[in-house]
A and B are shown apart, each in its own frame.
Chain A
């Protein structure tokens, strides 16, 4: 009942606005007059007449109907100021003309001229050009592709050593090499994952597969090593693993990446940490999850490093936040170093795991802002 009544009111208002038939002074949602967008500001509200317009020069007419002096801002992502009017005394109306390229913005009234203001979404619509036109973004993908190449080289070398140890029946050596070979895999996993059928063949866990599907890859051998303590029948699985790794490496080094792949990959690596490593689901037999954790974090950092000049230019504060949060996550992880490697997952307390989860959440939220930043021109 409630919803339908409000909807009816909404339709009636927007029709009136669209027709321009109603010019009652105290209506917050006025139709644009002379192409201007009216903004009615009070001490607790900021009513912008429309929240979408065509890209190009846009005029706002701000009326302060509150009791406090106010300000009006238009922000792009990361609180970059596109335009502002300050010192609008109660009762006054001021105008702001601002050039807005196509994109998503925020409007803000600041009664009392402090704080973050009362924000609203705003959209300028127009044409979009491909991101690769941007020289800095092109450079970022080139840099990251070089990183992928270096990692895939090591991945093949270490997987070869691991497979050799398994086939030689050297369980101790294979156990030692298992987390090391996986490190190179985990650093570039989002790139690898884009080749649908090969990722499960290499990295599926028991239970990921449907009945009847053959279980192969790292985790099958992990079970043979740690649970069955017998690799005498693991030879064919080991051979297939190496073949699959070589195939995926070849594909990874020829695929054309977009800057958005980098940004999203950086976030996905942290999602991997949050859902698989902190819970101990990834390496459930060997408990070497912290090796994978460290590799995911390094891979994420490498992708962001490639994009850093772009982030720095568009939102220096975000770049700084990312530096801090990466450092904090690394510091929290470093508490669990042991020799050349890491403690086992089951050696960490609930409190220690929660602290790790908190630092990953703290990092992943700002990282999720990189993709839209990269996409904004």
Chain B
């Protein structure tokens, strides 16, 4: 009750510059890094692109993949409409349903689960994507009359060398990425969406993440992954308008039309073999990554954002940044210029029974066309990356994220189902 009321008034009253500026503002094409300044504030849900992509990466993640269990197109569309309503509410800090967690009839189960009562919007973003299996089943069945709308760029990912994927935590028909500065707010959002979806969708798998491992805006510092290294220094950033157009957003003419303004997301759960990494010498760790551990500078430079000089060789004639180092193999110069917008999170799912942390990186990368970006990049990394000794890819997902919701008469997936 308080959550809904206080935010409604703060938004409507145009009082308090800080609150009104972010709650009420309609930011379309130009993401504003200042949004990240206040961890409690709301991120606009409406816009030309979905929020949660170039939005400055929040601290926490709850990523969920659903299987659609209905065979009826109208039930799926109905759910997408109900989800959009709930998402528009929750991202402004309101209860999932219009009656709320504590305002309904005492005989009724509340239409919001209540654990976010009293919490601010916390920068919550909810980003939806559609997996290849939504369009056509493995045996070729057109499930919802949308098979001919499947983007060519949404081609099933190939099997990469050393993949140890677990089907139960891979793929899915629909994904929702919930990011927020407060884990309770992200979990609340996923829990309520799952509840609204009962009978139409069923949760296939979900993943919690803490500690963003990428910065998606120059207003943010580069965070560290669980190997202790700065991760995503060369990431695409919200401010790189031209690069975003080239590498992130599906452009008119790319096809299909319903994806224009959207993006493709690849998720990989990458288990890190923390314990063996930790007893590797500092020099070897830095050699494997190709950057120093303290500053994050390339081994040929001094500062984090110095460009790596791949041609430089040491006295013995060996490349200073090794041929099998991670930074070299992932760099655009060795990937036909391809770049990704990475938005991954660290995870620790407790321990594994052998005394090891079940930990790693939940890799999330948005891009304009995985066939030209993630696939060739990962093919190369899987073959050559020195880091492979310390990581295992255990889950994989690929989803087409449609463009943003423009107004309240729009809904997630309308461009696909209309």
Contact = CB atoms under 8 A, between A and B. Distances in A.
Interface string A133-149: 00000000000000000
B107 A260 contact: yes
B146 interface: no
A369 B99 contact: no
Given A2-B120, A10-B5, A14-B9, A111 B409 contact: yes
A120 interface: yes
Given A3-B40, A68-B409, A325-B199, A9 B10 contact: yes
A110 B202 contact: no
A374 interface: yes
Contacts of A90: none
Nearest to B15: A9
Contacts of A110: 409
Nearest to A75: B98
A97 B378 CA distance: 63
Contacts of B118: 3
A43 B408 contact: yes
Name, among B7, B12, B105, B408, the residue most crowded by chain A CB atoms within 10 Å (CB to CB): B408
Contact of A123 (B18, B103, B120, B411): B103
Contacts of A233: none
A12 interface: yes
Contact of A106 (B15, B99, B409, B411): B99
Interface stretch (A26-34, A176-184, A215-223): A26-34
A246 to B, nearest CB: 33
Given A9-B9, A111-B407, A116 B199 contact: no
A104 B409 CA distance: 24
A118 B408 contact: yes
Given A2-B40, A111-B409, A27 B13 contact: yes
B98 to A, nearest CB: 4
B105 A375 contact: yes
A9 B19 contact: yes
A364 B198 contact: yes
A374 B105 CA distance: 11
Given A13-B15, A68-B407, A6 B10 contact: yes
B81 interface: yes
Interface string B89-126: 00000000111100111011100000000111000000
A46 B103 CA distance: 19
Interface string B1-38: 01001111111111110110000001000000000001
Interface in A350-377: 354, 357-358, 361-366, 368-369, 371-372, 374-376
Given A68-B407, A111-B408, A372-B105, A47 B100 contact: no
Interface size on A, as a range, is 35 or more
A112 B418 CA distance: 15
Contacts of A10: 5-6, 9-10
A104 B15 contact: no
A47 B408 contact: no
B227 interface: no
B202 A3 contact: no
Interface string B245-273: 00000000000000000000000000000
A39 to B, nearest CB: 12
A336 interface: no
Contact of A119 (B12, B85, B108): B85
A114 B410 CA distance: 9
A44 interface: yes
16 contacts: A2-B39, A7-B2, A7-B6, A13-B13, A14-B9, A28-B12, A29-B8, A40-B12, A43-B408, A68-B409, A104-B103, A120-B98, A325-B199, A358-B198, A372-B108, A374-B107
Nearest 3 Cβ contacts at the A-B interface: A362-B199, A28-B12, A112-B409
Interface of A: 2-3, 5-7, 9-10, 12-14, 26-29, 40, 43-47, 51, 68, 103-104, 106-107, 109-121, 123, 260, 263, 325, 354, 357-358, 361-366, 368-369, 371-372, 374-376
